[in-house]
Structure 1
Amino acid sequence: MVVTLVLTTRLSKSERSYWEGWQQHKDPEAGNYLVERYLPLVDYIIQRFAFSLPKTVDKDDIRSLAYEGLLDAFDKFNIERDLKFETYATWRIKGAVIDGLRTRDWLPRSIRDKVKKIEKAYIELEQQKNASVTDEDVSAYLGITKAELNKTVAEAALSSMVSIDEPDYNENDPSGKYSTLEDNRAASPEKHLTEQAIKESLAQAIDRLPEKEKLVVSLCYFEELKLTEIAEVLSVSVSRVSQLHSKAILRLRAATLAVHDHY
């Protein structure tokens, strides 16, 4: 499905009337117009979440949460600001989905504990080697089989998604938590130093990723391809792409955790 949305920031008179009609009077006609216009954004974001959702998650539940996020964005979007609605709504929708998943606690504590051990293994092994480590390295370090490692990575996909995509927006700056790394107005020199270290650590971690994992990250976050599209590019199964994505995110999260532990 190709998502086609108008990306203009200046509203036409007719569109402004719809926004005002909904925000000021909850006019049904205006609401229907906005939903029809921007519902493809919900479909697009659900496709993006497909990378990280385990099979136990009901896709209808995800759609419901995403739709609630879209409606929330309709109510809170400031039409006077020079900001694309798509940008604002994307973080509102992602936030609604992540908050909903956390509330329902889809990931068992046993899986969370295993994830922490894997992250610790990545931290310690990659610090020792100053290079990316293989599945065999991590499996041997943890005393488990490669099959057990891959099973845990697959089960931990939701944890990976939440940790890297968790939004931390507010009404004036609807952006992700990592966008704060660009804030040069930070009052604390220590905070600025930590943020710079995180950026450098992430850049190094991305550069160290195995080629396939690096390619999946690039196609996912820079080219914005869907799960199925990346599978076609790499000539592998969709589940394999999801596995590569999860491993890459675990490595990157481990890199940021190492910086936080150091400071």
Structure 2
Amino acid sequence: MTSSLQDAVERYVVERDAETSHVDEHARAVAVAALPLVRSLARRITLPDHPLATYRDLENAGMLGMLQALGSYDPDRGTPFASFAFGRIRGALVDFLRTIDCLSRDRRRRVAEASRTAEVLSQELGTEPRAAQVAGRLGVSVRSYNRLLGDAQQRFALSLYDGGDDRPTPLDVVASPDAEPADASAEAASTNGFVGALVGRLPEREQRIVHLYFFEGLTLREIAGEFHLTEARISQVLSKTLRTLRGQFETHRVAA
């Protein structure tokens, strides 16, 4: 795939620089050759529960990123196009997910309700409730409850991939272009398990803040009220905690 893509790109660049009438034809050939790369990156994203978030939408966004990379690619610099385009494709996927809410307000409310219900049941039973028990108390199916759990885990796990500013913002999960394909559900389960272990090693206060923000959907202001601190202080604690977790998570990904 990589060699055929590189060949198609280099033929396109020749036509582009010569401003021939065949440039559009070669651009289409590049798009066809690049589709497996774009698709593999898009398919490694855990889709948020949103009507606009489909893999076809992600692939279209990723293809636009690829075309942007194609317009500025210079093969004389020696960088393979797949490596050069990876950042643009990833950025396009991130930008697309930023245009839609990772979780709608109603979905965040339902996630928070499920979390509180599980906590109440845990206190009543004196042990961790089964999914069927929580689902029954909520009046939903076990499958629907498991999806709510997945939403809560996703909202937190995706934030670990945002290495930008200090504001904890959910982003996409995109594997390295050199990574071997893996079963998405097994990979997600492994990620969630490791993330849970990381959180479990945090100090009690940081654990509580992470849980309130990502799993119960509270705002910084609401969390600040519970801890009798300022919003700015809660934001600092949350950002510092996420930076620590990101470092540990990245170390784990590289080692894996």
Bigger RCO (CA 8 Å, 6+ sep): 1
Tell me the TM-score normalised to structure 2 length. 0.50
Larger gyration radius, structure 1 or structure 2: 2
| TM-score in terms of structure 1 length | 0.49
